Amino acid sequence: MRGILPKCGISAVAAIVAVATMPAAMASSLLDYVGQCVPFARAASGIQIYGDAWTWWDQAEGRYERGHRPAVGSVIVFAKTARLPLGHVAVVSRIVERRVLMLTHANWSRQNGERGRAEQDVTLYDVSPGNDWSEVKVWFRDNDGLGGSIYAIKGFIYGEGRAAAGLSARNPDYVGALIDAYVPGAGRR
């Protein structure tokens, strides 16, 4: 087998193996992440909950503060439904106004034909009759606008520390988010 590996020594080989096996959530940048929503939300928020996304709400009880008001860096928990059998979790990146916020998450829209990629500052619109964030519509890149589906929300989990850097863009498109929410079919083209 001599000659297959360049003369780099055991430590260099170990470093290559370590990088190759590094979890996706440890990507060089938050937005380089490719994988499931749960490890992404954990890395981006600092909230140390494991298991399927729909279980986060109950797991947070007694460990983290929970509520029904968005806060930057909090994790929003989507309920388990037929459409979302494992639920979904995302991190609030900006609050635009009382019924519109932006979130950063992974594994929602397809990008270049594949799922799993991180998306930054995605529009989320509260469509609940009581303005209590119990039902939302989410920007869906596949149709370049708010999706037609309404998703049930369990609530927000508030972390104890700071959220990861890079959660929000330096100059997010607030106007676009408001248009997305309040002008049906407008879409950003």
Q: Coil, strand or helix: which one is 90? A: strand
Q: What are the residues whose beta carbons fall under 8 Å from the beta carbon of 42, sequence distance 6 or more?
A: 25, 48, 49, 50
Distance CA 108, CA 160 (A): 26
Distance CA 119, CA 121 (A): 7
* Eight-class DSSP state of 165: T
**Contact of 105 with 37, CB cutoff 8 Å:** yes
Distance CA 25, CA 42 (A): 8
Apex 24 CA angle, 53 and 11, nearest 5: 145
Determine the pLDDT at residue 168: 84
Which positions of the chain have pLDDT values less than 50? 1-26, 188-189
Determine the pLDDT at residue 186: 59
* Eight-class DSSP state of 152: E
Determine the pLDDT at residue 184: 66
Q: How many residues does the chain have?
A: 189
- Amino acid identity at 129: P
Determine the pLDDT at residue 147: 78
Distance CA 51, CA 113 (A): 26
Determine the pLDDT at residue 36: 95
Determine the pLDDT at residue 10: 36
Please give the model's pTM, rounded to 2 decimal places.
Answer: 0.79
Structure tokens at 73: 């860096």
Residue 107's alpha-carbon distances to 53, 86, 119, 183, in angstroms, are 12, 12, 8, 26
